[in-house]
Chains A and B, each alone.
Chain A
Amino acid sequence: MGTRLLRIALVFALLAPSHLAGQESRVAVIVHPERRAELSPEEVAQIYLRRKRFWDDGAAIVPLNLPSQAPLRVHFSQRVLNQTEPRLADYWNRLYFDGILPPATLASTEAVRRYVASDPNAIGYVPVSEVDGTVRVVLQLE
């Protein structure tokens, strides 16, 4: 009986992390509920590279990032921007030379969600599991 319980516990222990990892790897790109735009992964990339800087109504887009070591950001950068960190750093150095800064960084996905909920011009990304009614999902990435 004890061995059986141990096996069941082991099975749950093995399944649980992979289940959470699956949740974390699904990224929702979010905007304010008033913002009706639909975005493709390429458009999101252009926004996060600061090439596309205005919404269709002329308002300036405020892209939000997570800290550089955050796993979700690493996943997002690889999935959407398809660039290594040294190459991205070079890219941002070139833009800094023209007075253009990279997306602002917030400390947590909670902070990103709260900011996006309060600013109609902001765009951010959070785990799908953290999306609520205060924001609208414009793109979901596996």
Chain B
Amino acid sequence: MSATTSQNRLRCNQPSVGCLVVLLAHFLVALVSPAAWAASEKETPFSLGQTELEETFGANTPLGRFSYQAGRGLRLGKTGLTVGGFSTVEAEFLEGGERRGGLEELNFLISFDPVPFVHLFTELGVGTLAELERGRKGVHSNPSLEVERLYLDLGTNDALRLRFGKFLTPIGRWNLARIEPLLWTTSEPLIVEEVFDDSTTGAMLHGAVFPQGGALSYSLYGAYLPPLDAESDEHPARYSAGAHLEWASLKGWTIGASYFASQLENKEWNHLGGADLLWHPHRRVELSGEILFGEGSREDGRLWGLYAQTVVEVMRTLYLVGRYERFDPPGGGRAINLFDLGFAWVPVPYLRFKADYLITDHRHELAEPGVRMSFSLLF
């Protein structure tokens, strides 16, 4: 059964989260059919068990070899399932006197690749497991299951793939890799945190072509469903649409452009534009930056902001990090200038310890100066 016919048989007249779930369930049922499994079988002399990092442990089972690699998850034999995740312990010592810390992230990454043209992926968070804060007695815990991402990728062509579900909004670079084990600092830039919705629930066309010298990739997306499992304190746009275009050179630099349109409740459309850059001028140096301008989906009013970040490998596994930010918030408030200085120690690719100090030109609720530290793990 092809994915296209599956879609045609199921029609959702009223967009809803339930419809999305039914759609995904429908695909799953189709994929576990004997024909699909037969298509995925290959006559090879041995199965592919190990990946980039060495296997940490493994066991042969009737379903094939269950193989776990640190930082790359547990592959469950021939089922096409991989289960992994990440976790972060954070601590903050702010100049205003606030002290807090705890186990801030425990998220699971689950992917299911039953046949080559299907990639089902979800990221599930379990909320705050343990938090200590100055002035509050005891350890506070607020565990809850949160669907950070849930999408289905379909396609047999690098140039055109279709994604349904809840996915990270492809604006710039940072928002697509926004978790602690992938970042160089403990805090994220204001233009990533305060301007647009982190995720989009809807559909996306995406792909890449490969002219000489690099890869040109694109994404065209739109939100047409109510946000799936949105944060209670956020007010995502009812409708949104956007595009991202990126050129990744094989010589070590990447440049991108973003456009994002959003409609808040009963209002006109807001328009946001941006550009991003990643460059490795030397094998020990990484430069990156983003700029955004226009109107975001969090608040009406024109804004603009940018960040520029430098990472230098000063010795093996130890990196110095510096970032400058400027943010002109919507509504004509005073612009904020920030400097974030710190270091990151990456003893192995799946462990990262960071500490940095945030300096601002004036006190502002969006960016409190102070020291922040984190220890994060990909598992």
CB pair A118 B252 closer than 8 Å: no
Query: CB-CB < 8 A to B349: which residues of A?
Result: 86, 89-90, 92-93
Q: In residues 28-51 of chain B, which contact A (Cβ within 8 Å)?
A: 42-46, 48-51
Tell me if B208 counts as interface (CB < 8 A to partner A).
yes
CA gap between A45 and B208 in the complex, in Å: 14
Q: Mark B38-67, 1 if CB is under 8 A from A, else 0.
A: 000011111011111110000000000000
Query: A40's closest neighbor in chain B, by CB?
Result: B212
Given contacts A82-B252, A101-B82, A105-B51, is CB(A51)–CB(B158) below 8 Å? yes
Q: Pick from B43, B48, B111: contact of A106, CB below 8 A.
A: B48
Which bucket holds chain B's interface residue count?
35 or more
Query: CB-CB < 8 A to B71: which residues of A?
Result: 93, 96
A42: min CB distance to chain B, Å: 6
CA gap between A89 and B116 in the complex, in Å: 24
Tell me if B156 counts as interface (CB < 8 A to partner A).
yes
Given contacts A93-B181, A105-B52, is CB(A87)–CB(B283) below 8 Å? yes
CB pair B121 A98 closer than 8 Å: yes
Query: B84's closest neighbor in chain A, by CB?
Result: A96
Query: CB-CB < 8 A to A98: which residues of B?
Result: 121
CB pair A51 B82 closer than 8 Å: no
CB pair B250 A42 closer than 8 Å: yes
Query: A105's closest neighbor in chain B, by CB?
Result: B50
CA gap between A114 and B45 in the complex, in Å: 7
Tell me if B346 counts as interface (CB < 8 A to partner A).
yes
Q: In residues 64-111 of chain B, which contact A (Cβ within 8 Å)?
A: 71-73, 75, 82, 84, 109-111
Query: B251's closest neighbor in chain A, by CB?
Result: A82
Q: In residues 78-133 of chain A, which contact B (Cβ within 8 Å)?
A: 82-84, 86-87, 89-90, 92-94, 96-106, 111, 114-115, 118-119, 121
A118: min CB distance to chain B, Å: 5
Given contacts A92-B52, A99-B121, is CB(A60)–CB(B280) below 8 Å? no
Tell me if A59 counts as interface (CB < 8 A to partner B).
yes
**Most interface-central of A86, A90, A101, A106 (chain B CB within 10 A):** A101
CB pair B109 A99 closer than 8 Å: yes
Tell me if B157 counts as interface (CB < 8 A to partner A).
yes
Q: Mark A2-15, 1 if CB is under 8 A from B, else 0.
A: 00000000000000
Question: A-contacting residues of B (Cβ < 8 Å)?
Answer: 42-46, 48-54, 71-73, 75, 82, 84, 109-111, 113, 116-117, 119, 121, 156-158, 176-177, 179, 181-182, 208, 210, 212-213, 215, 217, 248, 250-252, 280, 283, 313, 346, 349-350, 378
A-B contact pairs, 9 of them (CB 8 A): A51-B208, A59-B156, A62-B48, A96-B84, A97-B179, A100-B111, A105-B52, A111-B46, A115-B44
